[in-house]
Amino acid sequence: PAFAGSDGRGIAAILKGFVAKGNYDLILTGVQAEDGAAQVGGMLAAMLDYPFASLVNSIEILDGKKLKISREIEGGNREISEIDLPCVLSIQTGINEPRYVGMRGIRAVASVPIATPDAAELAVDPGSVGRVGAKVTRVDYFVPALGKGAEMLAGSREENIDKVLELMAAKGGLK
């Protein structure tokens, strides 16, 4: 309950507390959580002073000290990079093929306790997490109404270029 309502910085601080209790070379986060802010991975890397890459959709282990990663960047382009370990990577949807657990596996883990440490156990200041510590709070979330005048163009690139130029000229956008 003390962690509920944490913003990206608070969640990163909580995860840093977990990481400090172990010996990790690779920390994976999602690109975006349900809050849609895409903050946690980068903030966690900064708090740990680890290298960071986001939008990762492929990982290859080069040796015990480096990874080769692929990132999807704007316009559908891809970027290939090498990154030193330890590191934090924010993972893009589709990086793996999910494996589904059968009923036997579900039953086997159903009674396994899940550790739920508190702020003190993670060496996290209780005033920096949860609603009390959040510096960013979502006040609304909605799908806006469709605007007027939008038009989807179908056709080849050349046809669409001609259509856009025609529309712009008709609206006075080209002189």
Residues 146-175 have a mean pLDDT of 81
Q: What is the pLDDT of residue 20?
A: 93
Domain at 112, CATH number: 3.40.50.620
| Average model confidence (pLDDT) across the chain | 89
Question: Which residues lie closer than 8 Å to 25 by C-beta, 6 or more apart?
Answer: 85, 86, 87
Dihedral, 80, 81, 82, 84 alpha carbons, nearest 10? -140
Cα–Cα distance measured from residue 16 to residue 19, given in angstroms and rounded to the nearest whole number: 5
Picking from 48, 117, 124, 128, the residue whose alpha carbon sits closest to that of residue 89 is 48
The total number of structural domains that make up the chain:
1
Q: What is the pLDDT of residue 1?
A: 67
pLDDT band at 35 (very low <50, low <70, confident <90, very high): low
pLDDT in tens, 73-115: 888 889 999 999 999 999 988 788 888 889 999 999 998 999 8
Choice between 63 and 68, residue whose per-residue pLDDT is larger: 68
Residue numbers of the domain that contains 47: 8-95+105-133
Q: What is the pLDDT of residue 84?
A: 98
Dihedral, 75, 79, 84, 88 alpha carbons, nearest 10? 20
Q: What is the pLDDT of residue 85?
A: 97
Residue 35 lies in a domain: yes
Residue 21 lies in a domain: yes
Q: Is the confidence at residue 146, as pLDDT, over 70?
A: no
The answer to whether 81 touches 71, Cβ cutoff 8 Å, is yes
Residue 67 lies in a domain: yes
Whether the model pTM is above 0.85: no
Residue 57 lies in a domain: yes
Choice between 31 and 49, residue whose per-residue pLDDT is larger: 49
Question: Which residues lie closer than 8 Å to 108 by C-beta, 6 or more apart?
Answer: none
